[in-house]
Amino acid sequence: MNKRNNMVKPIGTKIYFVSAGPGDPELLTVKAAKILKKSDAVFYAGSLINPGLLKVIKKGAKLIDLKTLNFEQIKERLENFIEFQAEGSVRANIINIISVLHAGDSSIYSAINEQMHYLEDMGIEYEIIPGVTAAFAASAANKSILTLPDVSQTVIFCRGEGRTGKLPDGQDIKSLASHKATMAIYLSFGLIDSVVCDLKEYYPENTPCLIAKDVSLKSQILINCELKDVVKKSEEFSVKNMAVLIVGDALRGKYFKENRSKLYDKSFSHGFRNGGNTV
């Protein structure tokens, strides 16, 4: 019989998928920090998580590094821990809290879909804690914006086609670039030559770009350049795969003073203000 079916699952055991944000512990959400401080065990990928985040975790918590494990091995570690804690919980009435720490925001380019299915099959309650994704942190660190009236009202999160699988039809870089929106391109510096080549099909060579790596950390790299210089700059600063490329004219926002939001325009009316009312 499957080991899982024989496990004693303690009442109250709960798994939290905790989004770690870009890396700076101060950019954890308040809820994420609270959960980490009371977790009995934390699973994390040491290759992706800033070691400084581990200092937030309560002393005595069990830390399980996933960087060398496949999904089956991860499940085995989790099952062993839950089974061990189950016995203790029955005796001592302990409520177990287990966190799975994900870099960035766990809704973007993470592996939690299969993990959620697994936990549902196991009958274990779970919750997802959101976090700050790299593109948002990079934009803030760069004092730039991703949307701008009359320039771009759309942000596309995407990646180049790599070893993890073929992209669905119409979701390749070239097809998405045809919209000429702001693009936040993740996990693609390993194929940056082809990415830039595809972007040039629709964006002028002088389109502003932001190369962002290790955002919020001491090793942070922010490179503002034009599209034609992205490959050269990425080589110059040894920017590898774990970085984000932001492309689009919205990055010029602080220089476009005429592109103002209508929301606070004195002539614009909405449910809380009549246009022209200066009182």
Q: What percentage of the chain carries pLDDT values higher than 70?
A: 85
pTM for this structure? 0.87
**Of residues 84 and 74, which shows the higher confidence score?**
74
Residue 225: pLDDT above 80?
yes
Give the chain's length: 279
Residue 83 pLDDT exceeds 90: no
155-194: pLDDT as tens digits: 999 999 877 678 999 999 999 999 999 999 999 999 999 9
Can you list the alpha helix ranges (DSSP code H) found in the chain? 3-6, 30-38, 71-92, 112-122, 134-141, 173-177, 192-199, 230-236
d(CA 203, CA 177): 7
CA distances to 58, 65, 71, 83 from 77, in Å: 20, 10, 10, 10
For residue 130, which amino acid is it? P
The pLDDT of residue 1 is above 50:
no
Task: Say whether pLDDT at 114 is over 70.
Answer: yes
- Angle, vertex CA 162, rays to CA 157 and CA 165, nearest 5: 90
Residue pLDDT, tens place only, 133-163 = 999 999 999 999 999 998 999 999 999 987 7
Residue 62 CB coordination number (10 Å):
15
Identify the CATH assignment for 3-131 out of 3.40.1010.10, 3.40.50.11540, 3.40.50.720, 3.90.110.10: 3.40.1010.10
Ranges of CATH 3.30.950.10 domains, the chain: 135-255
- Backbone phi, then psi, for 44, in 5-degree steps? -155, 155
Contact 133, 104 (CB under 8 A): yes
**Residues paired with 63 in a beta bridge:** 42
Beta strands in the chain (DSSP E): 14-19, 41-44, 62-65, 97-102, 125-129, 155-159, 182-186, 208-213, 221-226, 243-247
Average per-residue pLDDT for the chain = 88
| C-alpha atoms less than 13 angstroms from C-alpha of 18 in its C-beta half-sphere | 34
pLDDT-derived band at 112 (thresholds 50, 70, 90) equals: very high
Nearest Cα to Cα of residue 132 among 32, 48, 218, 220: 32
Q: What is the pLDDT at residue 261? A: 67
Residue extent(s) of CATH 3.40.1010.10 domains in the chain = 3-131
The confidence band for 94, taking pLDDT boundaries of 50, 70 and 90, is low
DSSP letter, residue 230? H
Question: β-strands 62-65, 155-159: how paired?
Answer: unpaired
- In DSSP terms, 97 is beta-bridged to 14
**What token pair was written down for 76?**
């085995």
User: Architecture of domain 135-255 in CATH?
Assistant: 2-Layer Sandwich (3.30)
Closest CA to 75 of 51, 107, 98, 56: 98
Is the predicted pLDDT of residue 62 greater than 80, yes or no?
Answer: yes
Average pLDDT rounded to a whole number, residues 46-56: 94
Token look-up 């290790």 returns 214
CA dist 241 → 57, 70, 100, 160, 236 (Å): 28, 20, 23, 11, 14
Q: Whose structure tokens read 């629709």?
A: 202
Determine the Cα–Cα distance for residues 160 and 52; give it in Å rounded to an integer.
30
Give pLDDT tens digits for 194-222. 999 999 999 999 999 999 999 999 999 99
* pLDDT computed for residue 9 by the predictor: 59
* Per-residue tokens: 94: 């302990």
| Residue 39: half-sphere exposure toward Cβ, Cα within 13 Å | 28
